[in-house]
Amino acid sequence: MIRTIGTGPIVRALGPLLAVVLFATACQPIQATPLSSSTPSSSVVASPTPSPSPSLSPSHVFVIVLENTSYRVAMAQPYISSLASQYAVATDYHDVGNPSLPNYLAMTSGSTWGIQDDGYHRLPASDIGTELTNARVSWKAYFEGFTGDCLNSPYPYALKHNPFAYYGGRCPANVVPLTDLAADLNGNTPQLSWITPGMCNDGHDCPIRTADRWLSNVVPQITSSPAWQQNGVLLITWDESAGGDNHVALLVVTPKLRGQIATTMDHFSLLATVSDELGVARLGQSAQAGSLHDQIQAAATATASAGG
């Protein structure tokens, strides 16, 4: 109470002033950090921030890219639908156009570079592989049919499905045959494993059931590896939809995250997620894209806190 301090003209003068200050302070609203205008509305909100929260431990990220299948057709396949039921699936995920190459470039550099064909174009060395190399983060890109030459390896390998051959106009040593994957999963697994089957197993030249069977053989190898089981994430998507609707699936296979993710995303979001998980800067349009990093880390943190 003011009167316990003293009496007199000073206190009587300060009393009304102090009351005004206390009233103004009590009425001051609490400021909330607004959502970025680039963040899409969703039942699961992805973070578009280029500065991700720290991971629980160094992450291992696996990416598998398949070909030319709409969301509806992919979800009708037995093994793919089982993965969606057991883990998580992004239900509002989109390609960035056609043909194949611009989509692969978007997933690895955050830009299509204005390219609208599948021809060879020498591009600046501004891609996720270069970022990881500069940050001393290990990575490999595994390609079925690759024989050591990015430009001239035989079928079922396809240059247009190997974006890493375009950046800097060179074939990085990180590009290896798919046959190397099994040994790496049982040994020194790189922190990013980019996995591309050949032109039949990816569903391009063969039915989607072929790709579904291929996944049923490869995915269990990944999910049984220590690298995946220790907060790893496997992202499976398709370069473009054959249905003309740009709607493709993104399966998010992690030890903890479950359910449907309704956030509107595209291939730039895949790059944002990979970059955030591995702690490197986002490139190009991925800087403004929604990322799944926070959801993946939150699911792992919640399980760890619960002792699961």
- If you search the block for the tokens 């690298």, which residue do you land on? 227
Percent of the chain that is helix, strand, coil (3-state, to 5): 40, 15, 45
Domains defined for the chain, CATH in brackets? 61-305 (3.40.720.10)
Three-state secondary structure call for residue 81: helix
Other Cβ atoms less than 10 A from the Cβ of 194: the count is 25
Q: What is d(CA 88, CA 251) in angstroms, rounded to the nearest whole number?
A: 6
Q: Is the peptide bond before 102 cis (omega within 30 degrees of 0)?
A: no
Strands 247-253 and 233-238: antiparallel
* Amino acid letter, 74: A
pTM of the model: 0.82
Burial 100-129 (b: 16+ CB within 10 A, else e): bbbbbbbbbbbbbbebeebeeeebebbbbb
- CA nearest 202: which of 121, 128, 247, 145? 145
Q: What are phi and psi of 193, to 5 degrees?
A: -115, 105
Please write the tens of the pLDDT for every residue from 97-151: 999 999 999 999 999 999 999 999 999 999 999 999 999 999 999 999 999 999 9
Q: What is the chain's pLDDT, residue by residue, as a tens digit (308 residues)?
A: 333 333 344 333 434 433 333 333 333 332 222 223 233 333 333 333 344 444 445 589 999 999 999 999 999 999 999 999 999 999 999 999 999 999 999 999 999 999 999 999 999 999 999 999 999 999 999 999 999 999 999 999 999 999 999 999 999 999 999 999 999 999 999 999 999 999 999 999 999 999 999 999 999 999 999 999 998 999 999 999 998 999 999 999 999 999 999 999 999 999 999 999 999 999 999 999 999 999 999 988 876 666 65
